[in-house]
Amino acid sequence: MPDDRQPWIDLPKELLEKIGEHVDSRVDILRLRSVCTSWWSSVSLPSFDEELPCVLLNLPFPLVIDTILSRNLICRIELVHQNPNSSESKPKGWLTQVGESKRGKLQLLHPVSGCQIESSSISLNLQDFRFIELGKAFKLKLANADGFSLYGVTKVVPFPISASCKENNVAILAIYEGGKLGYWEYGDTEWELLDDCNFEYDDIIVYKSQLYAVDRSGIVWWINSSLKVIQYSPILYSHGSRKTLVESCGDLYVVDRFLDGERIQRNKNNYRECFVLYNNDEPTHRTRMKLKTIGIRVYKLDEEWGRWEEVKSLGDRVFVLGMDCSFSISSVEFYGGKWNSIYFTDDDESGLSCDDIGINVFQLEDCSIKRLEKFPEYSEIFLPPQQWIDTKQAFREGLQIA
């Protein structure tokens, strides 16, 4: 009986184009294009930031510098073909952040610091890996310095979060100037303060498709579609210095960090001096304000009863407090790592510290804080085994690490 099946390398261009239209992830499109020459020429490659066009944002004072809103993906990368002799019942992977350089190359970033992973010039064979998207991280980058975040902005998200930002139609929510919660739309000459009585906001999160912010007292605020800030939770009587919002298994948590000093409120003149200095193409010369974390407490919001519950154990969960995005993962889905723990960095509150960043691990079981560099077994969650790296660029497109 004759076999009428057509070889996959000979699929019609029209069919390949249709397949490409139904693939949402740019990484998956890259994998499609890397199959063979005909697939590479038939499937078009969209911009990584297609929904966030490369538009210069002339932000008003005190952020007087040209910036670009960028979006990175938090991903779990795993081998497509797992070792058949492995005792693991489920595939495991490692945690990374995927961004795009000015040259259009995908690059791996550290999910905690947001810094580019340093390595020799190598590329991953995308046919060997599966990328599972876990979340999105947004940040404002300097237009004239690839990879550097904007000084003075600690959190930013597009508004509304579900909108597809088109050119000259970009709107953002941001925490800036030490704790102000503001809204800016392309063309505006000044920020719109959403709360002119509270200048101590710490974090913003997308939770159940809605935007929420938390202030230093631990009150969670809902930001509705009309930009009204509405109290969503009671005050958190924890007395920590810095609050971070994390969603885990459908619940909302606040991670409260206790610091070894007081957070300084900088005035507008200080911010202006920093921006002028940074605008002179000297991104490594800036004022730093690094405080050290000496303790952490975790609380879960009981939304039914409207109260906070202190959490003593995360079970097999791991909280990752990134510079641009905080999230929760299951330790059983990753190599290495430390379950019932929190990975974080003592950043300088500016949203850009990429040099001399130290990553720490807080363990809830004994409330200890350890430097990640001193416990390499904890870092396996981030670092790929060397055999995963294909130093020979076998395909025309790969995931650039250098």
Check whether the bond before 160 is cis (ω within 30° of 0): yes
CA angle 184, 280, 104 (to 5 degrees): 65
Terminal CA-CA length for the chain: 52
The percent of residues in the chain predicted with pLDDT above 90, rounded, is: 31
The three-state secondary structure class of 39 is helix
Tokens, residue 179: 């704790």
The runs of H, that is alpha helices, within 224-377 are 268-279
Residue with tokens 């966030």: 52
CA distances from 259 to 3, 111, 371 (A): 70, 22, 16
User: Region 100-111: what's the mean pLDDT?
Assistant: 73
pLDDT above 70: residue 183: yes
Separation between Cα atoms, residue 36 and residue 16, nearest integer Å? 12
Provide the pLDDT for residue 258. 95
Which of 130-134, 141-145, 182-186, 395-399 is predicted with the least confidence, judged by mean pLDDT?
395-399
C-alpha distances (whole Å) from 371 to each of 228, 322, 337 are: 41, 16, 13
The pTM of this model reads 0.81
396 vs 168, more confident? 168
**R_g over Cα of the chain:** 22
Residues 6+ apart with CB under 8 A from 181: 173, 174, 175, 193, 194, 195, 198, 201, 204, 213, 229
